[in-house]
Amino acid sequence: MLYQELIRRKRDGGTLTAAELGAIVAGISDGSMGDAQLGAFAMAVLLRGMDLTERVALTTAMRDSGDVMEWDRGPVIDKHSTGGIGDTVSLMLMPAMAACGAVVPSIAGRGLGHTGGTLDKLESIPGYDIAPDAARLRRIVAQTGCALVGQTAALAPADKRFYAIRDVTGTVESLDLITASILSKKLAEGLDALVLDVKCGNGAFMEDLDSARNLARALVDVGNGAGCRTVALITDMSQPLAPAAGNALEMNLTLDFLTGRAVDARLWRVTCALGGEALTLAGLANDPEQGVSMLENAFRSGAAAECFGRMVAALGGPADLLENAQAYLPAAPVTQVVAAPSAGVVTGYDTRAIGLAVIGLGGGRRQPSDRIDPRVGFAEIAPVGQRVQAGDPLAIVHAADTDSAALATKAYLAACRIGDTPAAAPAPLVLDRISG
């Protein structure tokens, strides 16, 4: 099969069969399709698009380019977020769903652009192994019901090369290729059901609601088309979801949430809404309302915290992390209050700028090879709508030195808007629901 003929047909607006797309994915995997050809194919898809049949075929071929997990019991479910600031939902939701009877082998990702990554947060836990081999992963999931780990080389390997080519050919934005990239990895987990958290707002990749709906619809249709029951919630990311941004700070917040020491209301509502949908898809709840009730019980009874603690210990972390977090999670040597410059009401944030400020502190990557400082970031972030007096804290900067703390303070103040009166009613946390 001549790759150039397939590229030409897609360039001219034609459609490709499942067998032809399978041949392209095989060429990606074994290297017989050159980088120039792969870049040309990606550009043709970006410009001409794919229909649903093509999207499903490309996604399943990429899923099948490596191992597809199989499990002795189920239902097997997971959740995926398109990324934001202060988004710790996966860290609480996965053990809670396992406590409700689900099998949750969650393949998490690192930070991308201005957004934080679940794996980076987990790596703030000393000893935590984000890359267990397949046999160990199976044992841990059998013992604890869940595992939050990274993608192995055996899962959807075609995606790794394809993404690298897209990254340097200006084709990352293709809705068809975004969909195949996200879902090929998730479907390789052997899922029965998947809930998607598509973020929308100035801290998300999809800033407007129409773009978020388009992505959610593409993901839901392909997930269902590939045989995995899938639903998406579009959730607000016009301010940090949690009152912390930074890896160890978000892990501390997670532990406080799981143990009930401090539970942020916005984070609670989004976590339970997503989990209620997932448990319903999986057949563990009759409807999302019952699913939410099950999750609330898992949190309040301590079952979710217990599951998280067992998972951490099984993956090499401290067995007493929940009880003694401060003994294990790294702390920054410099903390500094971000003081309100005037009295008023916090009316909004440039949320993306806060994520970039965390990167500036060393809490994210400018280059793939950069090492992350897990200690740094912002804590006690004032929510939109909070009234402040001049000098009141808007946040606490955690930094490696005084110079970076000063720069982060300046960046935070530039990102925070204070007005005389509250802004119009804030956007609801769940903006829309997209189902099959």
In tens, the pLDDT along 246-297 reads 999 999 999 999 999 999 999 999 999 999 999 999 999 999 999 999 999 9
Q: Which of 36, 9, 12, 35 is nearest to 20 (CA)?
A: 9
Question: How high is the mean pLDDT of the chain?
Answer: 93
Superfamily covering domain 3-63:
Transferase, Pyrimidine Nucleoside Phosphorylase; Chain C (1.20.970.10)
Burial letters 85-122, b for 16+ CB under 10 A, else e:
bbbbbbbbbbbbbbbbbbbbbbbbbbbeebbbbbbbbb
**pLDDT confidence bin for 425, thresholds 50/70/90:** confident
How much is the average pLDDT of 107-113? 71
Active site residue 166: yes
110 or 229, higher pLDDT: 229
**pLDDT confidence bin for 427, thresholds 50/70/90:** confident
Q: Which residues pair with 339 in a beta bridge?
A: 393
The pLDDT of residue 367 is 67
Active site residue 78: yes
The pLDDT of residue 260 is 94
**pLDDT confidence bin for 436, thresholds 50/70/90:** confident
Active site residue 121: no
How much is the average pLDDT of 317-337? 96
Among candidate residues 59, 60, 81, 280, the one labeled active-site is 81
What's the CATH fold of domain 331-419? Aldehyde Oxidoreductase; domain 3 (3.90.1170)
- Asked if residues 99 and 297 have their Cβ atoms less than 8 Å apart, the reply is no
Among candidate residues 121, 186, 213, 352, the one labeled active-site is 186
How much is the average pLDDT of 99-106? 95
The tokens describing 370, both together, are 């950069």
Among candidate residues 10, 29, 60, 78, the one labeled active-site is 78
CATH number corresponding to 77-153+168-324: 3.40.1030.10
Is it the case that residue 332 has pLDDT exceeding 90?
A: yes
Tens of pLDDT, residue by residue over 381-408, are 999 999 999 999 999 999 999 999 999 9
The pLDDT of residue 153 is 78
Among candidate residues 63, 185, 229, 375, the one labeled active-site is 185
The pLDDT of residue 112 is 61
Active site residue 186: yes
**pLDDT confidence bin for 239, thresholds 50/70/90:** very high
Active site residue 81: yes
The tokens describing 286, both together, are 């009759």
The pLDDT of residue 167 is 76
Q: So where are the chain's domains?
A: 3-63, 77-153+168-324, 331-419
**pLDDT confidence bin for 368, thresholds 50/70/90:** low
How far apart (Å, rounded) are the C-alpha atoms in residues 86 and 411?
17
Is it the case that residue 111 has pLDDT exceeding 70?
A: no
How much is the average pLDDT of 135-155? 89
The pLDDT of residue 109 is 72
**pLDDT confidence bin for 318, thresholds 50/70/90:** very high
Active site residue 287: no
Active site residue 80: yes
pTM here is 0.91
Among candidate residues 10, 79, 213, 229, the one labeled active-site is 79
The tokens describing 394, both together, are 């808007």
Among candidate residues 10, 55, 63, 80, the one labeled active-site is 80
Tens of pLDDT, residue by residue over 41-51, are 999 999 999 99
**pLDDT confidence bin for 7, thresholds 50/70/90:** very high
Tens of pLDDT, residue by residue over 220-235, are 999 999 999 999 999 9
- Asked if residues 340 and 380 have their Cβ atoms less than 8 Å apart, the reply is no
The pLDDT of residue 369 is 67
**pLDDT confidence bin for 152, thresholds 50/70/90:** confident
Question: What is the percent of the chain where pLDDT is above 90?
Answer: 83
Four-point Cα dihedral 292, 297, 299, 303, nearest 10? -130
Encode the chain in three state secondary structure: CCHHHHHHHHHCCCCCCHHHHHHHHHHHHHCCCCHHHHHHHHHHHHHHCCCHHHHHHHHHHHHCCCCCCCCCCCCEEEEEECCCCCCCHHHHHHHHHHHCCCEEEEEECCCCCCCCCHHHHHCCCCCCCCCCCHHHHHHHHHHHCEEEEECCCCCCHHHHHHHHHHHHCCCCCCHHHHHHHHHHHHHCCCCCEEEEEEEECCCCCCCCHHHHHHHHHHHHHHHHHCCCEEEEEEEECCCCCCCEECHHHHHHHHHHHHHCCCCCHHHHHHHHHHHHHHHHHCCCCCCHHHHHHHHHHHHHHCHHHHHHHHHHHHCCCCCCCCCCHHHHCCCCCEEEEEECCCCEEEEEECHHHHHHHHHHHCCCCCCCCCCCCCCCEEECCCCCCCEECCCCEEEEEEECCHHHHHHHHHHHHHHEEEECCCCCCCCCCEEEEECC
Tens of pLDDT, residue by residue over 161-213, are 998 898 788 887 899 999 999 999 999 999 999 999 999 999 988 889 999 99
Among candidate residues 110, 114, 166, 310, the one labeled active-site is 166
Among candidate residues 29, 60, 115, 118, the one labeled active-site is 118
Among candidate residues 60, 115, 181, 280, the one labeled active-site is 181
